[in-house]
Amino acid sequence: MNLENKIVLVTGGSSGIGLAIAVKAKERGAEVLICGRNTERLNTASSKYNVKAYKCDVSDESQVVNMFEAIKNEFGKLDVLINNAGYGYFAMLDDIDAEKFTEVYKTNVLGAALCGREAAKIFKKQNYGNIVNIASTAALKGFAAGSPYVATKFALRGMSECWRAELRKFNVRVILINPSEVQTDFKINSGRAEAQFNPTKLIAGDIAHAVISALEMDDRGFIPELTVFATNPVD
Ligand SMILES: NC(=O)c1ccc[n+]([C@@H]2O[C@H](COP(=O)([O-])OP(=O)(O)OC[C@H]3O[C@@H](n4cnc5c(N)ncnc54)[C@H](OP(=O)(O)O)[C@@H]3O)[C@@H](O)[C@H]2O)c1
């Protein structure tokens, strides 16, 4: 697809990977819409990069429905949904907090499904659309203290397969992106210690590059899944 003048919604587009995707899509001439929960971060991104911001917690069904209503009213269509909003909750099995487990599932899984649902309604009517789900290498392989987060990303990967099976006949491409570690605020926002910048590890722009490249492939074809590793990360 050619992104020029396309309507692109990036959930969690106020920071990190989402913001980098928003900026790259904007550079390609797209009309970019972002959402998030924190107003200050949204306003900063919106004014700095000239993108439209919606305050929306994707885990809240009524907020998601209202955001899509607003998009339909203002733009009358949607070309791309980037399901990126998410965070990590990491705990050993014998330490799992049920409330925190449920909360991370509500954002990373239900939130993606709610946005996917509302986008699918538009895409089916248009007989066209694109969904990019930002999963993780945690969607491919488990690790110690990973079960709450890994569960959400395996779920997102599974949902992507279902959506593909439902939506391909409506010319909707469902693309799953699995970044390995990327240097963003993800670590701090997941309650872990901030690490020093490491030039050998991935940055948000690397993932944005992968997303935009996958989208820019001609609509005739699509890349179902793309995993991105740092070439030679040195600790
Ligand atoms: N960084 C990594 O190492 C890495 C690796 C693989 C996959 N990922 C995935 O990449 C995605 C983006 O992460 P990031 O690294 O860019 O982290 P980040 O810098 O913390 O960005 C997360 C974004 O999601 C938004 N968000 C979180 N919960 C939300 C909710 N309930 N509703 C709406 N927006 C919400 C945040 O804004 P507000 O807090 O203002 O809502 C923020 O804009 C996540 O899905 C993450 O799982 C990250």
Task: For a ligand 1 pocket test, name from 60, 84, 132 the mutation site with the most ligand atoms within 8 angstroms of its C-beta.
Answer: 84
Residue 181 alpha carbon, nearest atom of ligand 1: 3
**133 CB under 6 A from ligand 1?**
no
64-103 pLDDT, tens digit each: 999 999 999 999 999 999 999 999 999 999 999 999 999 9
The contacts of residue 1 (CB under 8 Å, 6+ apart) are 79, 130, 215, 216, 217, 218, 219
Length of the chain: 235
42-74 pLDDT, tens digit each: 999 999 999 999 999 999 999 999 999 999 999
Q: Is 60 left (phi over 0), alpha (psi -120 to 50) or beta?
A: beta
d(CA 99, CA 19): 28
Residue 88 alpha carbon, nearest atom of ligand 1: 47
Centroid of ligand 1 to alpha carbon of 175 (angstroms): 18
Start-to-end C-alpha separation, the chain? 38
Q: In this structure, are residues 80 and 101 in contact, taking their beta carbons and an 8 Å threshold?
A: no
Q: In this structure, are residues 35 and 46 in contact, taking their beta carbons and an 8 Å threshold?
A: no
> Is residue 149 among the annotated active site residues?
yes
Sorted by where each starts, the structural domains of the chain and their CATH numbers stand as 7-228 (3.40.50.720)
231: buried, middle or exposed (CB in 10 Å: 19+, 13-18, 0-12)?
exposed
**107 CB under 6 A from ligand 1?**
yes
Centroid of ligand 1 to alpha carbon of 8 (angstroms): 17
Q: State pTM to two decimals.
A: 0.98
Spans of the chain below 50 pLDDT = none
Q: In this structure, are residues 169 and 1 in contact, taking their beta carbons and an 8 Å threshold?
A: no
